[in-house]
Amino acid sequence: MTNHQEHLTHRGAISQHVQALPASGIRKFFDLINSTDGVISLGVGEPDFVTPQGIRNAAVKSIDDGLTHYTSNYGLPELRQLIAQHLYKLYGVEYDPASEVIITTGVSEAINLAMLAIVDRGDEVIGPDPSYVAYLPTVLLAGGVYVPVPTLAENDFRMKAEDIEELITPRTKAIFFGYPCNPTGAIMEHDDLLAVAEVAKRHNLFVISDEIYDRLVYGVEHTCFASLPDMKDRTLLMGGFSKAYAMTGWRLGYTCARRDLTEAMMRVHQYITMSAPTAAQYAGLEAMRNGEEDVRGMVAEYDRRRQMMVGELNDMGLTCFEPKGAFYCFPSVAITGMSDESFSEALLIEEKVAVVPGSAFGQFGVGHVRICYAADYDELVDALKRVRRFVERHRPK
């Protein structure tokens, strides 16, 4: 062994910040799903739809036309322009496509850019619990501390501004959330967000708003956080294509923020990925130009499944508030007397239905499971029959 290798071994191969990352509860569970045959998986959070044909064609055409090079680090100018127009049309918020928009490799990259751009070592970032599995690790990797705000079933899993305010310290840098919410399907009403905006203003905090599910709302209107009074300059808005256009595999998203924050995120982006995949950006252009009807069709179908699933779950005793966004139900499994982990494992083994234990999303997800309804309707009906059978078998007599 050379001296250099000895030195590395002595220090340990894996960096301390990676060692500090929690193991993903979801990943552990997916290993179990993958090793079981004939499973109906309601575990993965992605559309069952294939990307609409027109969008696929546009990407193929770009490749056939030889558009295979890097784009600008910021992304294709036409795509940035269309995103800015889209946000203006839907939410009335104005971004300059030349200096306030970056096309990213999914919202996954976008949230990492936001954290790396604004978080200093030891800074605190307040966000909901339960929340999307990547939020806490993203903050940790940037050297920050994720401070969870409990969100509870009795409040339809909405964050309360007063709960956020109680957690603010001199080290608090930002509030970080995503509504509609993965894993709960919760939304924040306009007034809930106005109250959060007041807190952000009062304490001079940034807000990172992950709005990847903005188009997937049912019977309510989405409020874009940046569109609230005085919020554009404090908000780092994250948006994407994965969910609304069924484009998870393309790896396409974007950030919108005021110019200096965009510049800071760009400094990170240019060294990490340089630019989002070019064919995916051409697909995104087509999605923005002509994807509206496809989005409406998919949302209507998700809504049909949602209504059926919420009704069924409540009827069999798995109490579930009505989720008004994303494509998840988050029922309580209390009626079975089992923990969320035991419930999910036993359901998988006995009935071959995969759901995800709520505790994988934070301590306040305990006692619930995440069930994704982005699956074929008939398959959902079949899965729910199996869940009902399981609950009846395990319900204490």
Under rule CB under 6 A, residue 273 binds ligand PLP: no
CB of 242 to ligand PLP, least distance (A): 3
Under rule CB under 6 A, residue 108 binds ligand PLP: yes
238, 253 contact by CB (below 8 A) = yes
Q: Name the one range near ligand PLP by CB under 6 A: 105-113, 139-147, 155-163, 312-320.
A: 105-113
Residue from 47, 106, 137, 362 touching ligand PLP (CB under 6 A): that is 106
> How crowded is residue 103: how many other Cβ atoms within 10 Å of its Cβ?
28
Helix (H, G, I), strand (E, B) or coil at 231: coil
Residue from 74, 132, 302, 390 touching ligand PLP (CB under 6 A): that is 132
> What tokens were used for 133?
């599995």
Q: Which of residues 213-252 bind ligand PLP (CB under 6 A)?
A: 240, 242, 248
DSSP string, 123-162: -EEEEEES--TTHHHHHHHTT-EEEEEE--GGGTT---HH
Under rule CB under 6 A, residue 43 binds ligand PLP: no
SS3 sequence, 40-63? EECCCCCCCCCCCHHHHHHHHHHH
Residue from 62, 71, 112, 182 touching ligand PLP (CB under 6 A): that is 182
CB of 136 to ligand PLP, least distance (A): 13
Please say which residue, 173 or 251, places its beta carbon nearer to ligand PLP: 251
CB of 273 to ligand PLP, least distance (A): 12
Please say which residue, 109 or 286, places its beta carbon nearer to ligand PLP: 109
Read off φ and ψ for residue 371, nearest 5 degrees. -120, 125
Q: Which residues pair with 1 in a beta bridge?
A: none
Alpha carbon separation from 55 to 2, 58, 247, 275, 278 (Å, rounded): 53, 5, 9, 20, 13
Under rule CB under 6 A, residue 255 binds ligand PLP: no
Binding site for ligand PLP (CB under 6 A): 45, 106-108, 132, 178, 182, 210, 212, 240, 242, 248, 253
